[in-house]
Amino acid sequence: MRLGVLISGRGSNLQAMIAACADPAYPAEIALVISNRADAAGLARAAAGGIPAMVIPDQDRREFAQQADARLRAAGVDLVCLAGFMRILDTAFVNAWRDRMVNIHPSLLPAFPGLHPQRQALAAGVRFSGCTVHFVRPEVDTGPILAQAVVPVHPGDDEERLSARILAAEHRLYPLAVRLVAEGRTRIVDDRVEIDGWRAPELAALNPAPPDMLVRPSG
């Protein structure tokens, strides 16, 4: 399966996909990286990985969509992966790639869509947050959920610490979710994702952890 990855910045999820695709057994390859920003650090990661990359400025949403669509098609892309792409996409573009475009968001959707989801999670006082890979629909951070990872909130967490913990999970989850799509194991039925041969974990995680696992304050 040929992937087109859309980025706007750091590109650490792109890096995780590059690493996954380096394994010959991985069923996908990155055909093209598109950034809407010339200063995106992810562009250097694409270059280092020998992956074709280009900048399409996004002053005009429709113009961006038309150019991106043409480039993705010319590159033979089967699946578009949004990886820290920070611009709302043109609805016609989203509909043209319906069920062939995925996104990763750093919360357990449908909780905390939009900007600063980690900050939203801390403000809400939740004990767990995480990340979600979902198929993309026109409304921001909505669409059939493909995979999620749960991450505990620790006492004293700030936005930076929680974001780092979630990001480490993102880097494991995104390649896994894309693998399932690339292997042809996913189907969307009634706006939910069915996965062939899916195994769910048995364990529930408790937070706070049970008493025997409590850490005693020192001193």
Q: Which residues are catalytic?
A: 105
Minimal distance, residue 122 CB to ligand GRF, in Å: 15
Question: How far is the C-alpha of 110 from the C-alpha of 216, rounded, in Å?
Answer: 35
Minimal distance, residue 168 CB to ligand GRF, in Å: 11
Give the list of residues 6+ apart from residue 13 with CB closer than 8 angstroms, or none. 83, 84, 104, 170, 171, 174
Binding site for ligand GRF (CB under 6 A): 7, 9-13, 42, 83-84, 104-106, 131, 167, 170
Instruction: Give the HSE-up count for residue 117: Cα atoms under 13 Å, Cβ half-sphere.
Output: 23
Minimal distance, residue 112 CB to ligand GRF, in Å: 12
Q: Rank residues 84 and 143 by Cβ distance to ligand GRF and give the closer one.
A: 84
Minimal distance, residue 141 CB to ligand GRF, in Å: 9
As given in the structure block, the two tokens for residue 32 are: 């093209």
Instruction: Using CB positions, name the residue nearest to ligand GRF.
Output: 84
Q: Rank residues 104 and 136 by Cβ distance to ligand GRF and give the closer one.
A: 104
Q: Rank residues 55 and 167 by Cβ distance to ligand GRF and give the closer one.
A: 167
Q: Rank residues 65 and 131 by Cβ distance to ligand GRF and give the closer one.
A: 131
DSSP for 142-194 reads: -S-EEEEEEEEPPTT--HHHHHHHHHHHHHHHHHHHHHHHHTT-EEEETTEEE
Q: Under the phi-then-psi rule, with left for phi > 0, alpha for psi from -120 to 50, and beta for the rest, what region is 63? A: alpha
Q: Under the phi-then-psi rule, with left for phi > 0, alpha for psi from -120 to 50, and beta for the rest, what region is 190? A: left
